């Protein structure tokens, strides 16, 4: 199989290109496409053979459920049942956007999509290319991130090609994704309402709508992105939590690995870049600019891998707003 790449300007979408990609979806093929979070690997949710191919090309465990993407809010009634008031409130507030909600599944959804669970994860993306593709495909699209399982998520078409070239039918290249980290996942099937994965919608934003919402603490795999190790570069990643003497700790660890003959890279906040003059440094972003940090996170991890870095030492950031989602991903990338 040779993977075709189609370039699309998200601000001036050429519909004939979208129609070509949608035809691939309808025929049971796989299409990588941009969302506002990361690039997704799409297939027709009702085509079990196509969904199975997603697991196979990604090397994704079959017990890791997938997210169903829809183009119209009312499409949720085809995918889920028992849609209560809180779900409708979240949909009205955050859709289209980077929020996935977990509800009781419709009987129409294949077991493979939900890993055999009686729940289904659903979201309506806000990226114009994603919405156009789903509409033209005339079906809901199941779409995990378009990368090999466990690798940093792709925020450009180039990242998709690095992992999945000639394994999938088509890639829609619409440039870098605006947000850079995946959607937040909220489980509405149990009480209290729980956040299963932090992402593009912050805990603070959700608490304004559902004050009693909490972070899920158990280890059961009941939604995407819940494996203990995830988002990992090939290099060893060492996270240094934010706090006093953070830069001193980073340098101490870096020199230790240098003495072992390792090639060391440091991912630093903009304010600390000049403190690591003897090292290969990449800037995550300004300390308080969580959106910039999110946009850069996965790209920088992949850049370090491309440069054959052995050890990446990362400065942690504040855990507030989008910073929580970034730190969650760094901790999973560090787990060995």
* Residue-wise pLDDT tens digits, 173-216: 999 999 999 999 999 998 899 999 999 999 999 999 999 999 98
Confidence band, pLDDT 50/70/90 cuts, at residue 223: low
pLDDT digits (tens, 9 = 90+) for 10-51: 999 999 999 999 999 999 999 999 999 999 999 999 999 999
Give residue 224's pLDDT band: very low, low, confident or very high (50, 70, 90). confident
The answer to whether residue 122 scores a pLDDT higher than 60 is yes
| Average per-residue pLDDT for the chain | 95
- Which pLDDT score, from 0 to 100, does residue 321 have? 96
φ, ψ for residue 67, nearest 5 deg: -100, 135
The yes-or-no verdict on residue 130 having pLDDT over 80 is yes
Least confident of 22-26, 167-171, 227-231, 284-288: 227-231
Is the confidence at residue 258, as pLDDT, over 80?
yes
Q: Which CATH number is 236-334 given?
A: 3.40.50.11030
- The percent of residues in the chain predicted with pLDDT above 90, rounded, is 91
Cβ count within 10 A of residue 85: 7
Give the pLDDT mean for 65-70.
Answer: 98
Predicted confidence (pLDDT) at residue 229 exceeds the cutoff of 90: no
Q: Given this model, what pLDDT does residue 219 score?
A: 67
What's the whole-number mean pLDDT along residues 241-256? 95
* Domain ranges across the chain: 4-215, 236-334
What integer pLDDT is reported at residue 278 of this predicted model? 82
The model scores a pTM over 0.75: yes
Residues forming beta bridges with residue 122, ordered by sequence position: 68, 101
Q: Give the containing element (helix H, strand E) for 35.
A: none
Residue 191's CB is within 10 A of a number of other CB atoms, namely 8
Count each helix (H run) and each strand (E run) in the chain, helices first. 11, 16
Q: Is the pLDDT of residue 304 over 70?
A: yes
The pLDDT value recorded for residue 243 is: 87
The SS3 assignment for 283 reads strand
Instruction: Report d(CA 105, CA 66) in Å as an integer.
Output: 12
Split at pLDDT 50, 70, 90, the class of 247 is very high
- Where do we find the tokens 């996935």? 100
Sign of the dihedral defined by the CA atoms of residues 78, 79, 85, 87, in that order: negative
> What's the rounded Cα separation, in Å, for the pair 138 and 165?
26
Q: Write the class of the CATH domain 4-215.
A: alpha beta
Higher pLDDT, 194 or 230: 194
């Amino acid at each position: 199989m040779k993977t075709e790449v189609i370039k699309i300007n998200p601000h001036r979408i050429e519909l004939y290109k979208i129609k070509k990609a949608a035809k691939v979806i309808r025929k049971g093929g796989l299409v990588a496409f941009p969302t506002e979070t990361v690039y997704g690997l799409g297939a027709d949710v009702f085509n079990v053979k196509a969904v199975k191919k997603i697991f196979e090309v990604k090397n994704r465990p079959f017990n890791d459920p997938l997210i169903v993407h829809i183009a119209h809010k009312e499409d949720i009634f085809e995918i889920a049942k028992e849609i209560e008031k809180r779900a409708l409130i979240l949909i009205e507030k955050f859709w289209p956007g980077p929020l996935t909600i977990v509800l009781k599944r419709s009987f129409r959804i294949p077991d493979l999509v939900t890993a055999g669970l009686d729940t289904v994860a659903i979201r309506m993306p806000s990226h114009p290319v994603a919405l156009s593709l789903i509409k033209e495909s005339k079906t809901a699209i199941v779409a995990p991130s378009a990368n090999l399982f466990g690798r940093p998520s792709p925020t450009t078409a180039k990242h998709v090609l690095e992992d999945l070239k000639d394994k999938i039918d088509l890639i829609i290249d619409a440039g870098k994704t605006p947000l850079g980290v995946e959607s937040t996942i909220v489980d509405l099937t149990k009480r209290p309402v729980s956040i299963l994965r932090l992402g593009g919608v912050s805990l603070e934003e959700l608490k304004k709508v559902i004050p009693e919402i909490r972070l899920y603490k158990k280890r059961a795999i009941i939604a995407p992105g819940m494996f203990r190790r995830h988002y990992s570069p090939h290099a060893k990643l060492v996270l240094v939590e934010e706090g006093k003497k953070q830069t001193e700790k980073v340098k101490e660890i870096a020199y230790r690995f240098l003495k072992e003959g390792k090639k060391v890279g440091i991912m630093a906040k903009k304010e600390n870049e000049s403190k690591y003059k003897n090292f290969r440094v990449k800037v995550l972003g300004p300390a308080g600019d969580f959106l910039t940090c999110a946009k850069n996170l996965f790209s920088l991890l992949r850049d370090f891998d491309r440069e054959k870095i052995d050890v990446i030492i990362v400065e942690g950031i504040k855990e507030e707003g989008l910073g929580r989602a970034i730190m969650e991903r760094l901790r999973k990338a560090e787990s060995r």
